[in-house]
Structure 1
Amino acid sequence: MKRRNFIKNAALTSAGLVIGNSLTSCNNSESKEENNETIVSTDEEKLPLVIATWHVKNATARAMEILQSGGTSLDAVEQGCMVEEADIKNSSVGKGGLPDRDGNVTLDACIMDKHGNCGSVIYLQSITHAVSVARKVMEDTPHVMLAGEGAKQFAISQGFKEEDLLTETSKKAWEDWKIKSEYKPIINIENHDTIGMLAIDKNGDIAGACTTSGLAYKMQGRVGDSPIIGSGLFIDNDIGGCVATGLGEEVVKTVGSFLVVELMRQGKSPQEACEEAISRIVNKPNSNYKDFQVGYIAVNKKGETGSYSIHQWFSMTKFQDGINEQIQSDFYYEAENS
């Protein structure tokens, strides 16, 4: 019997069992007797909540700081992502990101609020905080997406400062790569990738954001899923939200984050929805899924969470009930279907 099947069968006789990263035990209602009356606690008592792809405890800590002070989920995801954008040790996001094959650091980002409003920047250069520019696009223009030089000039007009995003470390890595002149997607390159973040504030409102420097040494002009609403990120405040990480081309082909939210709308848990979305990718005709990684994290309106990936070593960071922790997924498609 496969490990997942065994666990699912065991769950039928153990109502409190946690499957994967859904952590549903955090969302069960509790009751207590007080003054001869039964008082039932609600899911709202577990709010606020932040989850993000990969090991980014500094980012989730910043987001939770915003939420605990009464800030909105939109403020939280922007501020959280900005932490990673400014971290030059993170070679897949913002300043210090690995460049394209011509040596240019180009950034993609998007953000989405509780009303379904969204903003996005594509192929942005010389501006560290792409997620903040995306928010400005959402709030201060009639557009959803700005790209390339237009995105850069808009950012400058809004007061963002130009700076060189190519650090010496990233430059050295690029120069070493040029000697090999070989390009292919690498599963979990440096165990890191796109930063996607979802938050629910004290009012129960959901927002999300994505930010990335994209695939290292990509072709000039390449754009992945991260700035594409519905692929890298999707929010429906009545249902939940999802963000993606990994090989963006494969996420785009299935409109992955939108798919996860729609599956939750149909009644699936966040964990079940993430698993189904991964299954759609790997079961496509002629899928070469063994050669690339995709991972999803999701949250529903109840504050239940889920995460799933094609290969191992995918993780998410979760901050809830005062606990900021990295959660390594024990379940992934390759292991359960080998």
Structure 2
Amino acid sequence: MQTCIHPLFGGSLPASPHTSLRPGYLASCSVFDLYRQAMASVVIALLVLTCSVGCSQGLLQFGFYDKTCPQAESIVGSVVRDAALSNSNVPAVLLRLHFHDCFVEGCDGSILIDNGPNSERHAFGHQGVGGFDVIEKAKAQLEAVCPGVVSCADIVALAARDAVALANGPEYQVPTGRRDGRISDVSLAKDMPDVGDSIQLLKNKFLQKGLSEKDLVVLSAAHTIGTTACFFMTKRLYNFFPNGGTDPAINPSFLPQLQATCPQNGDVNVRVPIDIGSEREFDSHILQNIRNGFAVLESDARLNDDEATRGVIDSYFSLLSPLFGPSFEADFVASMLKMGQIGVKTGLQGEIRRSCLAFN
């Protein structure tokens, strides 16, 4: 399922130092597609304008490096683009990295530190998180031209933004000015959202970070790109709580495909697309899959069990949605901007690391 891209989508936003990362516009656009994307771009522009006031109050601001390192965003974008050309999984990996960073100690780059087995990145809740090499490569290039200026925390946030654009998702600006944290402890990641969490526990974990039920839905929809391992599917397919067997939320027509890919006692490292049918394209297709019982991850399936989160999903697919409903793209940007401000260090807090892997 491809997204029809129109030049207004991103082009109408305030000027940004980074160049467009989008692979190219698709010509086969329906009138409804153009209308929806034009309206989404307007909403995103308004979100950026609103955040330019709210974010500055927290000392984050758009164009924070315009004078001190004007190449910052373009350098990060170039590194991300090159990495994605070498490995198509990079956009999903970088998006996940930003989420995991923000949920522990705030968006401060703490997940990047590698100072032994007790560093945060080795927590059970961070299993499978990657992209560290991409961030470190961007940091090395930035240190060569602007030493001691751009934080690793900002590189992670910018890389996630660029990852979304590379997957044909919305282009948007990210307020910067984060500083790097000085704490990295494996025990601090114990409350990360988990694929096996109940819907109430997921809602509570997001609420603790100032994120709403709507944020839970649209940020979970970031699973529209990327893959997961059979390791995270075993319980759902063969030993589902409380009575064993299979999660009844799985569509019966989908179950044989999942079990064939992830057989009982099979290789738990086999990769499974999380958004069946649209795993390379950033879109709302995963929410449709969740509605229809085609969710791959248990945590995604639980979104359809709860009245509040199911209502958010349904709002994107009502009869009036194509013209008057909420814009998934704009809502995703709003939630990303909100998440990107969790627990940020600014001003004299924290530090600007010379290497993202170690404290100064």
TM-score (norm 2): 0.26
Whichever structure has more strand as a proportion of its residues is: 1
Whichever structure has more helix as a proportion of its residues is: 2
TM-score (norm 1): 0.27
